[in-house]
Amino acid sequence: MKITPTPVIGLLHRAIYSTLATQSVKFPGYPYATVVPNVLDARHQPILLISLLAEHTKNLLADRRISLSITDPGITNIQEGARLTVVGDAEPFEADAAMTARYLRYLPEAEQYLPLDFRFFRVIPNHLRYIAGIGQMGWLEAEEWTRLPALSPDEEEALIKLAANVAPNGVTVLGIDRFGMDYRSADGRQRVALEPESDLKAQILAVAPTLSVEALS
């Protein structure tokens, strides 16, 4: 089955948590899995903010090879729902002001961790295995991922302000990319799809006023 990036990006943005598997230092040869918050950068690459004391951080510092498992938060039957495995490398980096601001829009409670021993890591996907349902599956490779169009921090900031000005009360716009808009309402984090080849400003002006403050069905 030929997999296109669009549904994979949608799943990545809808997911609130992912399961991170690292190479265990304490138990060589065994994978070590833990649940982490799911926040992406402008290129749809998962960003980790993790403590140096954590077992998975120690593992990453010894071996950057990881796997992430992501499931659609709305599914009730795991065999029929969308899910994703990301195989790649987690690289430590110093987050600039724009990246930190983006992360905190999604996870404002993480601000308390910044003065502590927490560090940012960026997951660089090498291979992505997407399963849309029974018998519907395929791979995406790094070359396809790196070719995806991305907004600059200034472009995204301008679009977020535009959306916030017309969005209903009770809706907080978290992030915008060429494929969709993430927002938070009383029922949690949600995403609405956008057409990457069409005018983003026009789409936002049309879509943002209609955002629901309740969970999408």
Query: Does residue 215 carry a pLDDT above 80?
Result: no
Q: Averaged over 64-88, what is the pLDDT?
A: 90
- Decide if pLDDT at 216 tops 70: no
Over residues 13-63, the pLDDT tens digits come to 999 999 999 999 999 999 999 999 999 999 999 999 999 999 999 999 999
Q: Is the pTM of this model over 0.75?
A: yes
Which tens digits make up the pLDDT trace of 128-157? 999 987 778 899 999 998 999 999 999 999
Poorest-pLDDT segment among 65-74, 100-109, 132-141: 132-141
CATH class of 5-146: mainly beta
Q: Kindly report, residue by residue over 167-195, the tens digit of the pLDDT.
A: 999 999 999 999 999 999 988 899 999 99
Residues of the chain with CATH 2.30.110.10: 5-146
Q: Is the model more confident about 73 or about 199?
A: 199
59 alpha carbon, distance to own chain's centre: 22
